[in-house]
Amino acid sequence: MIFGVIWGTNMYISRVEIDSNNRRKIKELSHAGAYHSWVEQSYPEEVKSGIRTRKLWRIDSLKGKKYLLIVSEEKPEVHLLERYGVVGSVETKPYDLFLRSLQNGQYMRFRVVLNPVVSLTDHSKKRGVVKPHVTIAYQRDYFLTRTGKNGFSVQDDDVTIIESGYTLLRKSGQKPLRLIKAIYEGKLMISDVSIFRKILVEGMGKKKAYGFGMMTVIPIG
């Protein structure tokens, strides 16, 4: 995958190999909240100013190694990304030129990690009840019914769920949560490039702060 608001704002895409062989480091990365903290702390000027910009991130596995990918408006500090990463493995590239090169009708290979849930009305409560889609069939439908409004189209047989499971999230003073997770891969066609660019930098779906919603793409041909 490309390592795949906006205009007038610089965008960057970064990658670091997670130091999976360091038991002390990995022990600290035990849930999505720890990864979220790692990402945020890698932008010290934002921490200092108290003004946080939107960031997308996710964990990818490739050839037995795990990588943290980030899309952001600012460049992360290398030494802070190396806190849990392999020293010397950090890469940060401008994302703007790639985003501007996208066109309607263009075919792309994609990967996206989503939190497939549905909000149901509960008249006994002020807020609706959020329920996870736990079956592959419902998870596929969740994705397929959201393509058009996100600026792209797909054929049913061009989408594969390569992984389905849960991500653990812990917050201080609260019970641990299990967030439903599905990783989708396949081929898409850009149908509304303005919306599609926005999705690539702002994400798709819910729980974006916790490793969901980041789509990356590679042009076909």
pLDDT digit string (tens) for 134-151? 899 999 999 999 999 999
pLDDT on residue 167: 95
Asked if 165 and 81 sit in the same domain, the reply is no
Q: Which of 63, 98, 133 is the last residue of a domain?
A: 98
Q: Please, are residues 183 and 110 in contact by the beta-carbon 8 Å criterion?
A: no
pLDDT on residue 125: 63
Confidence of residue 9 (pLDDT cuts 50, 70, 90): low
Q: Please, are residues 32 and 106 in contact by the beta-carbon 8 Å criterion?
A: no
Q: Which sign does the torsion angle of CA 57, 188, 12, 162 carry?
A: positive
Could you give the number of structural domains in the chain? 2
Asked if 172 and 151 sit in the same domain, the reply is yes
pLDDT on residue 6: 43
The pTM for the full model equals: 0.90
Asked if 64 and 110 sit in the same domain, the reply is no
Average pLDDT over residues 100-117: 97
Domain CATH code at residue 173: 3.30.70.1210
Mean pLDDT score of the chain: 92
Q: Please, are residues 91 and 3 in contact by the beta-carbon 8 Å criterion?
A: yes
Report the C-alpha gap between 113 and 64 in whole angstroms.
19
Distances (CA, A) of 22 to 58, 86, 152, 198: 20, 9, 40, 36
- Domain enclosing residue 94, as ranges: 12-98
